[in-house]
């Protein structure tokens, strides 16, 4: 097979067509066809801009725009047409279709522009849209978290560090802890989209357009808030894609951490949650099994998104100034990360919303007396004992309790007094779960009042996120 198609774009100085296998190797149509909507929007804006600059008549500009509309309509209804195309890339596809429709007028559209600036512009447009979509999915996830936090308000659970019982907390506090991470992800993505929101058009291949173009009007026409500052930088800058990939990798990491908690909580040893049938699977061998596959897959897919970030970082490393064909490798990692992060976030939102928290089991686990050891030390501190000393005393009390085969709640006052005369009857009131929770009333703490306030604040930020997805 010879592959003369793309030579129409650049074949003048060539004697022979590219080798067929090389043509397959260098083509990007199979994946950059995803940017066809951005390509056609750009082409329409360009037709208007060069008509305004006097390069085309207004009538020519209008005919080009109408033909591009028709191409868009056909592309939507005739996928076979796209599948059959032998175009080199999305820009070549649109140009070929336009020339087929309009002949020489179609061939006028590429005046004064380069695919280098086009691909940078369309990729930025794609990234802005992808971020909007993922922020929408994040909205569902933080809503699911807020709904569970509200429905389960007041349920305690054991809080751990190093996976060891540490202090009790409210289940809603744990839920909102994950929620905070996702709120930050939404902000990080918005910042990445703001980075992408600069229009390179008018940069030409590398040195700028030679025709008197109104770059700002062109940028506005395509929904950009500003133009890029330097043509050479604009055709080679992919920072916006890297920042988006970093934001997606961090989101995936947060999803993976939530997933890890959920997998643990679903195990019989924890038994904190009941997995929803709709988001679990069974075993083909063991009839008793209900597996947390949704969460395991979310955890498992995180690596691919890290891979995308590293792939693009590596592509950009060591490139000389200006556009290099290496940069064509920017799109597949971002598309893949976009697809995966979107699916992961949506499934996490739905699976979390459908999860039942097992209140009785959580309450029982939160009763572990080890969880109130800090309270005993604080009790002694309140009587004037320096904290380090109090810590030492309580350590000894706990060791004795272990030897006596009792919990600290069951130790007789007389026995406690052997360790400090300051222990009194009122100690029992600080050893309750309720007291341990209620004492954490600082902003950001786990006391019921503080968590209620945190939930209200969390909801207010969700509303903001949804206002401006």
Q: Which residues bind ligand ARG (CB under 6 A)?
A: 28, 32, 89, 115-116, 119, 323, 325, 327-328
In the residue annotation, 283 being an active-site residue is answered as: yes
> Closest approach of Cβ 32 to ligand ARG, in Å?
6
> Closest approach of Cβ 100 to ligand ARG, in Å?
20
Nearest in space to 353 (alpha carbons), one of 164, 198, 152 = 152
Number of H helices, E strands in the chain: 21, 6
Helix (H, G, I), strand (E, B) or coil at 297: helix
For residues 97 and 305, the answer to whether their CB atoms sit within 8 Å is no
> Closest approach of Cβ 115 to ligand ARG, in Å?
4
Q: How far apart are the first and last CA of the chain?
A: 47
Nearest in space to 444 (alpha carbons), one of 434, 457, 462 = 457
Quote the CA–CA distance of 353 and 145 in Å, as a whole number.
Answer: 7
Q: Which is nearer to ligand ARG, 260 or 326 (CB)?
A: 326
Q: Which is nearer to ligand ARG, 185 or 237 (CB)?
A: 237
Quote the CA–CA distance of 10 and 33 in Å, as a whole number.
Answer: 20
Nearest in space to 431 (alpha carbons), one of 163, 153, 168, 158 = 168
> Closest approach of Cβ 283 to ligand ARG, in Å?
45
Q: Which is nearer to ligand ARG, 28 or 446 (CB)?
A: 28
> Closest approach of Cβ 323 to ligand ARG, in Å?
6
Helix (H, G, I), strand (E, B) or coil at 28: coil
Structure-block tokens of residue 89: 């890339």
> Closest approach of Cβ 11 to ligand ARG, in Å?
13
Across the strands, what pairs with 160?
165
Q: Which is nearer to ligand ARG, 116 or 148 (CB)?
A: 116
In the residue annotation, 110 being an active-site residue is answered as: no
- Core vs surface per residue 226-236: b (16+ CB within 10 A) or e: ebbeebbebbb
Structure-block tokens of residue 27: 């083509």
Q: Which is nearer to ligand ARG, 291 or 324 (CB)?
A: 324
For residues 376 and 431, the answer to whether their CB atoms sit within 8 Å is yes
For residues 226 and 219, the answer to whether their CB atoms sit within 8 Å is yes
**Catalytic-labelled residue, pool 21, 267, 283, 321:** 283
> Closest approach of Cβ 77 to ligand ARG, in Å?
25
For residues 223 and 206, the answer to whether their CB atoms sit within 8 Å is no
Helix axes of 90-102 and 58-77: crossing angle, nearest 10 degrees? 120
Quote the CA–CA distance of 6 and 18 in Å, as a whole number.
Answer: 9
Q: Which residues does the annotation mark as catalytic?
A: 162, 283
């Amino acid at each position: 097979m010879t592959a003369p198609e793309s030579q129409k774009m650049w074949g003048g100085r060539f004697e022979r067509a590219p080798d067929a296998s090389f043509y397959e190797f260098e083509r990007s149509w199979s994946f950059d066809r995803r940017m066809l909507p951005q390509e056609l929007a750009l082409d329409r804006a360009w037709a208007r801009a060069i008509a305004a600059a006097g390069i085309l008549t207004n009538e020519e500009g209008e005919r080009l725009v109408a033909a591009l509309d028709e191409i868009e309509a056909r592309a939507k209804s005739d996928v076979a047409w796209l599948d059959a195309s032998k175009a080199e890339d999305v820009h070549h596809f649109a140009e070929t279709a336009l020339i087929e429709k309009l002949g020489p007028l179609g061939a006028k559209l590429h005046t004064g522009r380069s695919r280098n600036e086009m691909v940078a512009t369309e990729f930025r447009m794609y990234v802005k849209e992808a971020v909007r979509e993922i922020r929408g999915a994040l909205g569902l996830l933080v809503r699911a978290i807020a709904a569970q936090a509200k429905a389960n308000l007041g349920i305690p659970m054991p809080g751990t560090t190093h996976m060891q019982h540490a202090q009790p907390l409210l289940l809603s506090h744990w839920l909102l802890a994950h929620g905070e991470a996702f709120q930050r992800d939404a902000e990080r993505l918005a910042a990445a989209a703001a980075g992408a929101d600069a229009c390179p058009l008018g940069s030409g291949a590398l040195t700028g357009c030679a025709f008197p173009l109104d770059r700002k009007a062109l940028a506005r026409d395509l929904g950009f808030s500003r133009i890029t500052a330097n043509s050479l930088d604009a055709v080679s800058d992919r920072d916006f894609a890297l920042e988006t990939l970093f934001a997606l990798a961090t989101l995936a990491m947060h999803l993976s951490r939530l997933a890890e908690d959920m997998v643990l909580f679903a195990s019989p040893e924890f038994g904190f949650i009941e997995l929803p049938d709709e988001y679990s699977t069974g075993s083909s061998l063991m009839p008793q099994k209900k597996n947390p596959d949704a969460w395991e897959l979310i955890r498992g897919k995180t690596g691919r998104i890290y891979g995308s970030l590293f792939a693009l970082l590596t592509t950009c490393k060591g490139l000389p100034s200006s556009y290099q064909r290496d940069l064509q490798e920017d799109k597949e990692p971002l598309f893949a990360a976009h697809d995966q992060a979107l699916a992961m976030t949506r499934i996490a939102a739905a699976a979390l919303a459908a999860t039942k928290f097992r209140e009785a089991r959580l309450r029982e686990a939160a009763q572990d007396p080890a969880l109130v050891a800090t309270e005993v030390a604080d009790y002694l501190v309140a009587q004037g004992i320096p904290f380090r000393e109090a810590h030492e005393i309580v350590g000894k009390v706990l060791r004795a309790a272990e030897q006596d085969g009792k919990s600290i709640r069951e130790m007789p006052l007389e026995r406690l007094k052997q360790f400090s005369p300051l222990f009194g009857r009122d100690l029992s009131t600080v050893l309750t779960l309720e007291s341990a929770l209620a004492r954490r009333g600082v902003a950001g703490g786990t006391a019921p009042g503080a968590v209620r306030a945190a939930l209200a604040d969390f909801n207010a930020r969700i509303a903001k996120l949804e206002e401006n997805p």
